[in-house]
């Protein structure tokens, strides 16, 4: 009988600094987030930038309370903005309460280097955006937020 892992992971994402990669673990059947077993991420994945040589990610940051792993690029390296990035990992590269994760080979990933984590909106200042005042029938002094 073939092994079918119940552990999946969302497409890895290069974070906005370009110096780290985030991987979120999910349940394969429903896509629900799952926590990673503390100490289980001992096999480090690699990335390739624009088809170059593999770069081994390091220093995984996670605990039993995290729903994913944050890996860091080696010191002095950074993913350039708009670069094409692929991700590779060996089978069993991390474990969870429902099993081990399957590997990947040169899987294209999202590169958010130089971009905000909130989307591709242009970097404009929105004065008063997300700021509401109390609804009162009388005049009152209120101090606004500073830009």
Whole-structure pTM value: 0.75
Q: Which domains does the chain have, with CATH numbers?
A: 7-111 (2.60.40.1220)
Q: What is the DSSP letter of 76?
A: T
Query: CA-to-CA distance for 68 and 62, rounded, in angstroms?
Result: 7
**Segment 26-41 mean pLDDT:** 87
Q: Average pLDDT, stretch 6-28?
A: 88
What is the tens place of the pLDDT at every residue in 78-107? 999 989 999 999 988 888 888 888 889 999
Partners of residue 49 on adjacent β-strands: 85
In terms of phi and psi (left: phi > 0; alpha: psi -120 to 50; beta: otherwise), the region of 10 is: beta
């Amino acid at each position: 009988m073939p092994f079918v892992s119940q552990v999946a992971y969302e497409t890895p994402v290069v974070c906005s600094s370009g110096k780290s990669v985030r991987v979120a673990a999910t349940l394969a059947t429903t896509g629900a987030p799952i926590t990673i077993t503390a100490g289980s991420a001992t096999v480090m994945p690699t990335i390739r930038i624009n088809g170059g040589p593999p770069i081994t990610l390091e220093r995984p940051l996670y605990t039993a309370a995290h729903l994913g792993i944050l890996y860091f690029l080696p010191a002095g390296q950074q993913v350039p903005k708009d670069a094409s990035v692929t991700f590779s990992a060996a089978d069993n590269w991390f474990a969870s309460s429902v099993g081990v994760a399957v590997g990947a080979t040169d899987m294209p990933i999202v590169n958010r280097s130089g971009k905000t984590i909130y989307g591709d909106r242009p970097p404009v200042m929105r004065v008063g955006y997300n700021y509401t005042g109390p609804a009162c029938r009388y005049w009152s002094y209120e101090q606004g937020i500073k830009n």
